[in-house]
Amino acid sequence: MVKRIRFETADCPVARALDVIGDWWSLLIIRDAFDGVRRFSEFQTGLSIAKGMLATRLRDLTERGILETAPASDGSAYKEYVLTPKGRGLFLVIVALRQWGEGHLYPEGEPHSALIDRETALPVAGLELRAQDGRPLEWADTELRKTDGK
């Protein structure tokens, strides 16, 4: 088996983020947690993921502070997995992936789920990157400045 490369000390924030959430199972677990899934069996059924794989991913996400366990809300002996503030901070990442998928992976007219504003019942507007002064920015309008690490 190939040893997994770790990026937890990388200079790049993208690499560090991917070290925590960079596999599809973790992102799908996080997506489902945003959709209200809380119990191991619900994750397992909804994702059709092997129990061992799910247990590993839930443990990793919990150890990295994305999820935490809590007593079951119905008072049963089960535990539930809930998003921490760090985990809830991934909402825009999940929305960005969703919107990219909607825009590039569905032929015109093919049905798919939609993210809806609860107040208006309208689809959520597309995410935009904005400058400090509010101007919309594209990738060509930005540059990466590396720090010297001090």
Task: Classify domain 13-141 at the CATH class level.
Answer: mainly alpha
CA angle 50, 52, 55 (to 5 degrees): 110
Q: Structure pTM?
A: 0.87
- Split at pLDDT 50, 70, 90, the class of 3 is low
Q: Are 58 and 67 in contact (CB under 8 A)?
A: yes
33-87 residue pLDDT tens:
999 999 999 999 999 999 999 999 999 999 999 999 999 888 888 899 999 999 9
Alpha-carbon gap, residue 58 to 36, rounded angstroms: 15
Alpha-carbon gap, residue 105 to 92, rounded angstroms: 19
The ranges assigned to domains in the chain are 13-141
Q: 126 to each of 11, 31, 59, 116, how far by Cα in Å?
A: 30, 18, 33, 12
The pLDDT value given to residue 26: 95
86-127 residue pLDDT tens:
999 999 999 999 999 999 999 999 999 999 999 999 999 999
